[in-house]
A and B are shown apart, each in its own frame.
Chain A
C-alpha cells in the first residue's frame, strides 16, 4: 500500500521532470491551470499550480476550486505518476476519474505521455 509520504515524493519527482522537460515547456507555453490530485486510501489532496507550462507551486491542502481534478486510489495515482501504469487504460475502465474540459484532458494525457516517453 502506498503511503502519503511515497505519494508526495512521487509527485515531487514528477514535477521536477515536467519542469525540466524542454518539449513540454515549448508546447505548454500558453497553458496555465490549477490541477488537483485527490486520492483515497490514504486520503490526500495535492494542488499543482501550473503557469505557462511550468509547475510553480505544489501544496498538500484542500482547494475549493480547480481547473482539473484527478481522482483515484493512491496506488493508482502513484503508478500513473511513476510511469508504471497507462493512464488511458485506467481512465477507460473507470479506475481513474478526470474532471476537466475535454481539451485539458488531452493536454494532461500529453504531459504524462511525454514525461515517460
Chain B
C-alpha cells in the first residue's frame, strides 16, 4: 500500500481534537456541573468524566482503524446496526452538531456583547454567523501548523491564568465546601462535564490523512482527553477558589467573570481572546466536517439532491453549509431571545453521551458481525471496556434527561423521533 505524501502527525491530531473540544460553551457547562455538587467536588466530576471519556476513546480508535472515513458514525453504525438505525443515529448526530454550534454562537455573542455592549447579543449572533458562513464557503480552514499554534496558545493562556489564580493571595479553596449538595448531584455533575469533551472524537475523519491509519490516531484521542481533563480540572479548581459560585451561575460568560475577578481588565481580555480562539477552532472543525457529512448523505441519496451542490471554485458544499447555518441561526437567536443557554448545552451533552454509548455498542456488535475485518487497533480484554462504557454513557444520558428541564427532554425526543421518521419514511421516497 502506498503512503500519502502529506500525512498528519500526532501533534496536529491532538491539536485538532483539542481545538474542536475547547469551546466557549464549555465554561457555562462547567459551572452547571459545579452547581450540581455546590462545591469544588466538580474537579472530581471532571476527572471521572475524563476517565470514562478516555475509555470511549478506545472504541473510537478501534472503529476508525477498521473504517478510516470522514463519515465515521454513518459507516460504523451501518455496519453494526443496519441502514435505518444508522441513518437515524447519523441525522441525530448532525442535529447534535447544530445544537452545539448554536450554544457556541450564543455564548460567543455574549462575550462580544460584554466587550461591546452597544450591540445586542442577538445582533452579534447575526454578525458572527454571517462572517462564519462566508469563511466556510470560501473553504478557509485552520489546519496543520496554525492549528498547533492556536491550540498551544489557548492551553497556555487557560492553564497560565488558572495557575496565576491558584497562587494568588485571594485563593481561598479551604473555605469553599467540597460537595454541600451531597453526592446526589455528583452523577449529574459528571453528565454535565461530558459536554467539556464534546467533539474530541471529530478527528476520527482525519484517519484518512494519517500514515496508513496506524494507531497514531488512537493515542492522539487519549492524549486529547487527558489534556482536556487536566485543563478543565485546573480551571475549575482555580475558579472555585477565587469566585463565589453564585457569581458564576446564571451567566453565559462565567469565564469572563473569572478573568475579571482574578486579573482585572487584563484577565477579562485574556479570557475573551481565549473565547475567540476556542469558538473559531470549534466552528472550523465542527461545521465544516458536518457540512461534508450532509453533502455525502445527499450524494448517497439520503438527503435531497440539491444539498450535494459543490461550489465550483472552492469545492465546498455551499448548500449544505447554508442549511446548517440557517438552522444554527434559528436556534442561537432563540437562545438569545430566551437566554436559556443551558438548554442547548444539556441537549448536546445528552446526545453526546448517547453517541458515546452507541459507539461502544457498535464495537461490540462488530466484534461478532465482522470478526475477520482487519483492526489497526483493537481494545484488549474482549468486550469488557466497550460494554462498561456503553452502560455508563447510557446511564449518563438518562441522568441528564431526568434531571433537566422539560425543554431539554422535548428537544432531545423531538430531534430523535424526527430523525427516525425521516430515515424510515422520507428517505425511501427520495428515490435517487
Is the CB–CB distance between B4 and A67 below 8 Å?
yes
Q: Chain A, 92-116, contact with B by CB distance < 8 Å: what is the 0/1 string?
A: 1110011111110111011001000
A-B contact pairs, 13 of them (CB 8 A): A65-B3, A69-B4, A88-B299, A88-B300, A91-B71, A91-B296, A94-B75, A98-B69, A99-B208, A100-B208, A100-B209, A106-B315, A106-B317
In this assembly, does B297 line the interface, its C-beta being within 8 Å of a C-beta of chain A?
yes
Q: Chain B, 289-316, contact with A by CB distance < 8 Å: what is the 0/1 string?
A: 1001001110111000000101011011
CB distance from A84 to the nearest CB of B (A): 15
Identify which of B68, B308, B316 contacts A97 (C-beta below 8 A).
B68
Q: Output the nearest chain A residue to B208 by Cβ-Cβ distance.
A: A99
Q: In chain A, residues 7-29, which have Cβ atoms closer than 8 Å to a Cβ of chain B?
A: 27
CA distance A107 to B310 in the complex (A): 9
The number of A-B residue pairs with CB atoms under 8 Å apart is: 96
Is the CB–CB distance between A103 and B2 below 8 Å?
no
Identify 11 new A-B residue pairs, CB closer than 8 A, beyond the known A27-B312, A66-B5, A92-B297: A36-B2, A65-B3, A86-B299, A88-B296, A93-B75, A94-B69, A97-B69, A100-B208, A106-B316, A110-B310, A113-B308
In this assembly, does A63 line the interface, its C-beta being within 8 Å of a C-beta of chain B?
yes
Top 6 closest pairs, chain A to chain B, by CB: A88-B299, A94-B67, A94-B75, A88-B300, A106-B315, A65-B5
In this assembly, does B424 line the interface, its C-beta being within 8 Å of a C-beta of chain A?
no
Q: Output the nearest chain B residue to A89 by Cβ-Cβ distance.
A: B300
CA distance A71 to B68 in the complex (A): 11
CB distance from B8 to the nearest CB of A (A): 9
Is the CB–CB distance between A102 and B5 below 8 Å?
no
In this assembly, does B1 line the interface, its C-beta being within 8 Å of a C-beta of chain A?
yes
Q: Chain B, 48-68, contact with A by CB distance < 8 Å: what is the 0/1 string?
A: 000000000000000000111
CB distance from B351 to the nearest CB of A (A): 21
In this assembly, does B399 line the interface, its C-beta being within 8 Å of a C-beta of chain A?
no
State the interface size on chain A (CB cutoff 8 A).
34
Identify which of A69, A105, A110 contacts B2 (C-beta below 8 A).
A69
In this assembly, does A4 line the interface, its C-beta being within 8 Å of a C-beta of chain B?
no
Q: Output the nearest chain B residue to A87 by Cβ-Cβ distance.
A: B299
Is the CB–CB distance between B79 and A63 below 8 Å?
no
In this assembly, does B347 line the interface, its C-beta being within 8 Å of a C-beta of chain A?
no
Identify which of A65, A97, A109, A110 contacts B4 (C-beta below 8 A).
A65
In this assembly, does B70 line the interface, its C-beta being within 8 Å of a C-beta of chain A?
yes
Q: Output the nearest chain B residue to A105 by Cβ-Cβ distance.
A: B70
CB distance from A86 to the nearest CB of B (A): 7
CA distance A106 to B296 in the complex (A): 9
CA distance A94 to B75 in the complex (A): 6
Identify which of A36, A92, A107, A110 contacts B300 (C-beta below 8 A).
A92
In this assembly, does A80 line the interface, its C-beta being within 8 Å of a C-beta of chain B?
no
In this assembly, does B139 line the interface, its C-beta being within 8 Å of a C-beta of chain A?
yes
Please indicate the chain A residues that have their CB under 8 angstroms from the CB of B297 in the complex. 92
Q: Chain A, 64-91, contact with B by CB distance < 8 Å: what is the 0/1 string?
A: 1111010100000000000000111101
Please indicate the chain B residues that have their CB under 8 angstroms from the CB of A94 in the complex. 66-67, 69, 75, 78-79
Q: Output the nearest chain B residue to A98 by Cβ-Cβ distance.
A: B208
Is the CB–CB distance between B315 and A101 below 8 Å?
no
Is the CB–CB distance between B69 and A91 below 8 Å?
yes
Please indicate the chain B residues that have their CB under 8 angstroms from the CB of A89 in the complex. 299-301
In this assembly, does A41 line the interface, its C-beta being within 8 Å of a C-beta of chain B?
no
In this assembly, does A62 line the interface, its C-beta being within 8 Å of a C-beta of chain B?
yes
Question: Contacts A71-B1, A93-B75, A107-B315; is A102 near B70 (CB within 8 Å)?
Answer: yes
Q: Chain B, 201-228, contact with A by CB distance < 8 Å: what is the 0/1 string?
A: 0000100110001000000000000000
